[in-house]
Structures are given as structure tokens and as C-alpha cells.
Amino acid sequence: MEELDELAIKIRDKILATVSSTGGHLSSTLGATDLIIAMHYVFDANKDPFIFDVSHQAYAHKLLTGRWDSFNTLRKFDGLSGYTKPKESKYDYYMAGHSSTSISLAVGAAKAIALKGENRIPVALIGDGSMSAGMVYEALNELGDRKYPVVIILNDNEMSIAKPIGAVSKLLSQTMASSFYQKFKHYVEKALDHLPDSAMYIARRFEESLKLITPGILFEEMGVEYIGPVDGHDINGLIETLQIAKELGKPVIVHAQTTKGKGYEIAEGTGKEHWHGVGSFDILTGKPNKKSINKNATAIFGETLLALADNDDKVVGVTAAMPSGTGLSGAMEAYPNRFWDVAIAEQHAVTSMGPLAKEGFKPFCAIYSTFLQRGYDQVIHDIALMNVGVAFAIDRAGIVGEDGETHQGAFDISFLRAIPNMTLFAPYNETTMKLAMEFAKDFSTPCAFRYPRGAFIAADCASIQFELGKADVIQNGEDIVFVGYGNGVGRALEVASRVDFTPTIVDLRFVKPLDEVLLTSLANSHKKWFVFSDSAKMGGVGSAILELFSQTKMQGVDLVTFEYDDAFITHGSTNEVEESLGLRPNQLAQTISRILEGE
């Protein structure tokens, strides 16, 4: 046990040294280190499926499964992923980057194991934040009914699931975690089957009264055994508890309480959201190594939203567990009754804004592009079908860098453009962001606007007001058109500065509806078109323009779109990823020159 405690210290030191250099998730993965050591001690990672919810807390797992020497490549291009990834290691059972999938995966794995008749047991590690999503309870509902042997470790680092109620609850919880209690309970349950109804009723009422003052009643009522809370940093106690859970042969939740940032005092404890995911920083001071000199798009959104809310009490908003990430923190602090964080519940966030729009309010639903995917049915069924004026503020559109495949914001244009009643537009700098949001505030039907992680490419400049379905020609040139959408306008401007001709540059603004008049007029005089948008090619901006030309029977236009091909995009710095895709400005300029020279 002393060696395991020393191992935990060594692993935390390794994580801290690496993340301070590469950036990554920190507080949650430090807090989960002891749990993961205990998992590996009790279960067999060679055969038992180790399933990590979100998997941002799985760094200790990576270090224990042959990746110690390569750990310094974490989140770097061609290096280790910041999440579990089966292509990276056979010990990573499943890929994960979104929350609340682990118990469903564990149920699926348990079904496969049962069908194959194998002696294996899925073990899932899930954080308390992930327990706010409905998918967890869908999985628990089936698991409690079918009784597959699954061990779920609930990493409660906020004590948000259930707070122990004084010394009595602590004593009961420790007792429930003991092998004596589990055996005693089993014998009592067998005995109850043979007792008269009156005695059984009294015994059942006594057992239920105990549950009422312990935090496990929810899980027990769903048919899942509950043990805890236990100390998530007592490796010896964790091993004993997990061995009991493993031997029960049925679904069990082990509720472990941990401290975020464990082992790094600066990040320890609750209320330090900024230590969840970090860039590189100085270990001694905790201060970032570098600061962006340009205002990022998220900050512009947050400031503008607060200004809109100051001037109009009908402006409201919601986010799903990302108040600082989406820039909603300022509005939530100023108007706590009008702006809400509903936790990791994108479906609920989307649907709940519909009635507010119906009742005359103007909801802004601020969600990352990758997470809006989780509320797609609700966008269709509860917003667009009702044709109510919810505005979707889509943060992290385009390549987001080190978080990789699960987080790249590639698909929002493609999946939203197909929805009736939906209007799509995008700004490309600070001024157009403010204009886009003013347009959204006064727009009475569903709409969505997207913006990148970090700063816009293009510098700020004066611009005209947004008008429904109207593009803006920001540079007149020769018979070659550069069409930019959102941050793609900045990319078009960069490329234009590197070619030996002067293209006409269009800020498309609206991809739905398109500016049919302007685009068809340009198509009559410009036959070479190049499209720039940080989005998937299939169903994207170039596709929308080609659909228009097909419908209007426009001929003779040669269009090339520099959107993402039909593949998931790997992790690494944004510049490195873009370079691998041939999307850096110098590469695009060379590609365009080759295309034009090849005529």
C-alpha cells in the first residue's frame, strides 16, 4: 500500500509537469488518480473494459498502460490524445470526449460479455457533473432492470450528488461499504422471502428508513446497488471497496468523494473552474505562460450579450455547463434570474428556451458546435418545428486544436442547414459579431450564428448592418471570386494578400438564405470561385452555393471549396492541424495558383 501511495505521488507529479507544458485537463485528472490506481489493482485492464466518461480524467490510466515515456507528447500533433483512443492503446476500450456515455457503454459491453459467456466485468468511471445528463439515467434504468454485473465508480469531486448528513450518515456509509454489511444484507434478503407479510413489511420499512439518510436511495430505487460515500484518496480503502463491488456479481455504484486538483495546492478544491482545462502555465505561481494579445470571439460575444441584456429585459440565455467557456458568466452574474447554466444537459437547454421565445423573450442558447450535436433532435422538434425565435450562439466553430476529433466544430452548418425555418449567418470580426447579435436579438424565428475559438482572423473594421439573406462585397476585383463565410472571410483576405491578382471578396454572411441576387449576378461575370469556410465540405457552404447554381441552371462556373474533407480531424495545435489539411494561407495561395495555371 505504501508503494501505491508513492506511485500516486509520482503520477501526479508527471501529470503536473506535462500539463504545465502542453496544456490539457488538470484538476479533474489529478483528483481521479487514486481511483484509477485502485481500478487497475482490482480489475484486469487486459480483459475488463475500462470505460472513462468524457475521458479527460484518464491521464493516470495512460501512464499506467505503457505511455509514460511518450506522455510529453500529450495533445500534440501526432502525439497522445487528451482522451481515451483505442487506436492509441489496446487498454483504451472506447473513444470518448463528450460526457455521460460511460454507463451506456458499460451496459453494451456487459451484454456482449454475457452473450459470449466470458468472465469479464465492465468498470466505468464517471464524474458527478456527468450525472446531470439524462442519458445516464436511461442507462441506469435498463441496467437496474437487467442486473448485468457492472461496477460504476462515481467520482464526486463537488459533492453535488449527495452531501453526507452528519456523523450518522458517515457511519452508515462506511458500514455499507464493508463486506460484513453486504453479506448480512444478502442473508436478510433471502430470509425476507420466507417471512410472513407483516414481518417483511416491517423489515423493508426499516431498510428504507436507513436509505433515506444516506445518499444512495436514488440508485437503489433504480435497482443498482450503492456503496458510499467512500474516501476517493484512500487507495487501501478503495481497493477493499472495489473488491467487494466486483464480487457482488450485479450492478454496483461506488460513490467516491475526491478533491479536484489533488496534490497541486493552487488548483485544489471547488470553485476553481479555470483549472479544469488549462494552457501551459508556471507550476510555482499557477500563472499562464502566455496571454493572447487579441480579444477572442467568446469574450466579444459575452460583452455584447451583456450590453443587449442591459438594454432589453427580454434578452435571456442558457448554457450547458460552460458559463465561462461560452462567455455567459458576466450575464449570469449580472442577471441570475435571466441567464442559466443547466449543467451537462444540452437537450434540456435547447428545449427549455422554446417556451421563453413563445412567451415573448429572446433566448440566446450558447453552446459549443461539438456539443450542439447532442441537442439536434430538440433543435428540430422543439424549436424549428414551432418556429420560435431562439438564437443559437455556436462557439468553437471550426478547428479547435488539441481536443481533437471529438471536439472539432465541423458539422454545425451541415446539420442545421437541412432544417426548415432555420436561418444561418456568421460574423468575421468584432464589429460584425456585434451586428450579427443585434440582428439575432430582433429576429423572430430560429437562427444560429457561429464563431471560432480564440480570436477572429480578420482585423476589425467598419461594416454595414446585417440584412436577412444579404451578402456584402468587401473588395471588388478581377473575374475571380473569393467567398468567405464567418472566419473564412479572414482566411480569404489573408490568401488574397498572397496571390498575384486581385480577387473580388464576398462576405457571404448568410448561408441560409443565400443572397441569390448577388451570387447569380457575380456568376455571370466571374467564372472562377473559391470558397473559404471552417466547416465540413459535405452539406457546407460550397455545397449550398452549388445547389443554388443548379436550381438557377447557372453554367460555366468553376467552384473550389476549401472546407474539410469527409474525415474526422485529429488533434494538435490549430496551425499544425490546418497545415496537415493544406489550409494555411500560403498553402491555399499556392493551391489556387496551381489551379489557375493548370487551365
Active centre residues (catalytic): 260, 346, 374
Mark out the alpha helices in 449-540 (DSSP H runs).
Answer: 487-496, 516-525
Question: How far is residue 35 from each of residues 100, 238, 268, measured CA to CA in Å?
Answer: 18, 7, 17
Q: Pick from 358, 367, 364, 351: which is nearest to 388 by CA?
A: 358
Q: CB neighbours (10 Å) of residue 158?
A: 14
Residue 147, φ and ψ in degrees, nearest 5? 65, 35
Instruction: Show Cβ contacts of residue 113 under 8 Å, excluding neighbours closer than 6 positions.
Output: 120, 121, 122
To the nearest 10°, the Cα dihedral for 34, 35, 36, 41? 90
- Calpha distance 116→109 (Å, rounded): 11
- Calpha distance 67→46 (Å, rounded): 15
Residue 98, φ and ψ in degrees, nearest 5? -105, 155
- Residue with cell string 433504480: 222
> Could you tell me which residues are beta bridge partners of residue 50?
123
Instruction: Show Cβ contacts of residue 111 under 8 Å, excluding neighbours closer than 6 positions.
Output: 148
- Calpha distance 411→426 (Å, rounded): 14
Question: How far is residue 557 from each of residues 275, 352, 479, 520, 597, measured CA to CA in Å?
Answer: 51, 44, 11, 10, 17
Report the run of H or E that residue 560 belongs to, with start and end. Answer: strand 558-561
Q: Are 341 and 366 in contact (CB under 8 A)?
A: no
State the Rg of the chain over Cα: 27
Residue 183, φ and ψ in degrees, nearest 5? -70, -40
Percent of the chain as helix, strand, coil, to the nearest 5: 45, 15, 40
Side-chain half-sphere of 192: how many Cα atoms within 13 Å?
A: 15
Please tell me whether the peptide bond between 229 and the residue prior to it is cis, using omega within 30 degrees of 0.
yes
Q: What is the DSSP string of 266-311?
A: GG-SSS-GGGSEE-SB-TTT--BS---SS--HHHHHHHHHHHHHHH
Question: Going along 325-399, which residue ranges are E strands?
Answer: 339-341, 362-368, 391-395
**Long-range contacts from 545-554, C-beta under 8 angstroms, 24+ separation:** 545/483, 545/514, 545/519, 548/514, 548/516, 548/519, 548/520, 549/520, 549/523, 552/516, 552/520, 554/520, 554/523
Instruction: Show Cβ contacts of residue 60 under 8 Å, excluding neighbours closer than 6 positions.
Output: 11, 15, 29, 32, 33, 36, 37
Identify the DSSP state of 183: H
Helix (H, G, I), strand (E, B) or coil at 523: helix
Q: Are 46 and 249 in contact (CB under 8 A)?
A: no
